[in-house]
Amino acid sequence: MNNCSIANCENSSDKTRLRIAIQKSGRLTEDTEKLFRNSGIKFAESHDHLLAHAENLPIDILRVRDDDIPGLIMDHVVDWGVVGQNVLEETMMQRKLDGLNIGYTEVMPLNYGDCRLSVAVPSENDWHGLSDLEGKKIATTYPFLLRRVLKERGISFKPVLLTGSVEVAPRAGLADAICDLVCTGATLQSNGLKEVETIYRSKAVLICRDQELYPEKKAIADLLVQRFKGIMAASESKYIMMNAPRAKLEAIRSILPGAENPSIIELEGDHERVALHVVSREKVFWETLEQLKSLGATSILVVPIEKMLD
């Protein structure tokens, strides 16, 4: 394992190693590290080090707070970053106000980190719509995203900026309502709040700085994009196998979700039935398998796909 601190590794003129910022520890960390490992990037497990060199590819991973990632991209300190769209947009609005560069390019959306930014009020409150927030104190980590939405509706409010424990603000008498990230809603409920309006939906994105990458870095970036796409396509796809009556092939194909060009294989000594193999690019539900069975399919197997290269 090859690790070091930023002090002795930093080399902003490095033209060959792709530097990627990821969240050090939080809700995006596990999925991001899994995506990188599945793409064949080998890097140190330890989260104690700010910078980890990949052992097998010219890639350096910088582990930081998610809030710092858009700035690192926009200040051209790193080449790539993985961050939630919520943090990206909020930071852009803040930096615009501060007169800083807000340039970046989106490399690709990622299939994790889904959450929503919602307004919540004490459960016992009546709710008639966002206009109820006029003149109210709202605790949030995302004042710019909130202001953008409320301004569009002509609603003014008093932001109470909190970077954590936003959900306790109403009970603590700090605010009348909150605007916070929600996944299941359980945290809100346990704090006596109800979710009343979603103002923004977010997922993780891979972003790049707004400058041409050096050719060596571009080559590794292109390779990784291919691999990431392959992994994401594979995670949503399944390999389906079954034996089926030849006479029902059309009906079977019509109910298989996102299935293209199945392979039809003769079954030795059976002219009525064939084996059918197909890659389905969508989730396969039990209901579909039950329908296949009712059409006479047997030995139905649904197998996960690890990697995919089109």
Q: Which residues bind ligand ATP (CB under 6 A)?
A: 23, 26-28, 65-67, 84, 86-87, 113, 115, 181, 183, 202
Work out how close the CB of 67 gets to Zn ion at its nearest, in angstroms, rounded to a whole number: 4
CA–CA gap between residue 59 and residue 18 (Å, rounded)? 5
Question: In which order are the strands placed within the sheet that holds 51-53?
Answer: 3-4, 51-53, 59-64, 18-23, 80-84, 204-208, 105-109
Token readout for 166 is 């936003």
Which residue, 61 or 64, has its beta carbon nearer to Zn ion?
64
Which residue, 167 or 176, has its beta carbon nearer to ligand ATP?
167
CB neighbour burial string for 265-277, b if at least 16 within 10 angstroms, e if fewer: eeeeeeeebbbbe
Which among 62-70, 218-226, 227-235, 264-272 is the span making contact with Zn ion, rule CB under 5 A? Answer: 62-70
Asked if 66 is part of the footprint of Zn ion (rule: CB under 5 A), the reply reads yes
Which among 5-13, 63-71, 144-152, 201-209 is the span making contact with Zn ion, rule CB under 5 A? Answer: 63-71
Q: Pick from Zn ion, ligand ATP, none: which does 27 bind, CB < 5 to 8 A by kind?
A: ligand ATP
Report yes or no: 68 and 54 within 8 Å, Cβ to Cβ: no
| Residue 7 DSSP SS3 | helix
The burial class, CB within 10 Å (0-12 / 13-18 / 19+), for 291 is middle
Work out how close the CB of 182 gets to ligand ATP at its nearest, in angstroms, rounded to a whole number: 7
CA–CA gap between residue 177 and residue 143 (Å, rounded)? 13
Which residue, 111 or 291, has its beta carbon nearer to ligand ATP?
111
Which residue, 47 or 307, has its beta carbon nearer to ligand ATP?
47
Which residue, 150 or 188, has its beta carbon nearer to ligand ATP?
188
Distances 119 to 132, 180, 181, 200 between C-alpha atoms, Å = 11, 7, 9, 10
Report yes or no: 258 and 282 within 8 Å, Cβ to Cβ: yes
Q: Pick from Zn ion, ligand ATP, none: which does 280 bind, CB < 5 to 8 A by kind?
A: none
Work out how close the CB of 141 gets to Zn ion at its nearest, in angstroms, rounded to a whole number: 8
Q: Which residues in 176-205 contact Zn ion (CB under 5 A)?
A: none
Give, rounded to a whole angstrom, the gap between the first and last alpha carbons of the chain: 33
The phi-psi region of residue 6 (left if phi > 0; otherwise alpha if psi is between -120 and 50; otherwise beta) is: alpha
Work out how close the CB of 3 gets to ligand ATP at its nearest, in angstroms, rounded to a whole number: 20
Tell me which of 67, 132, 195, 216 binds Zn ion, using CB under 5 A: 67
| Residue 159 DSSP SS3 | strand
E strand spans, 246-306: 263-267, 270-280, 298-304
Work out how close the CB of 248 gets to ligand ATP at its nearest, in angstroms, rounded to a whole number: 43
Q: Pick from Zn ion, ligand ATP, none: which does 113 bind, CB < 5 to 8 A by kind?
A: ligand ATP
Work out how close the CB of 24 gets to ligand ATP at its nearest, in angstroms, rounded to a whole number: 6
Q: Pick from ligand ATP, Zn ion, none: which does 151 bind, CB < 5 to 8 A by kind?
A: none
Contact positions vs Zn ion (CB under 5 A): 66-67
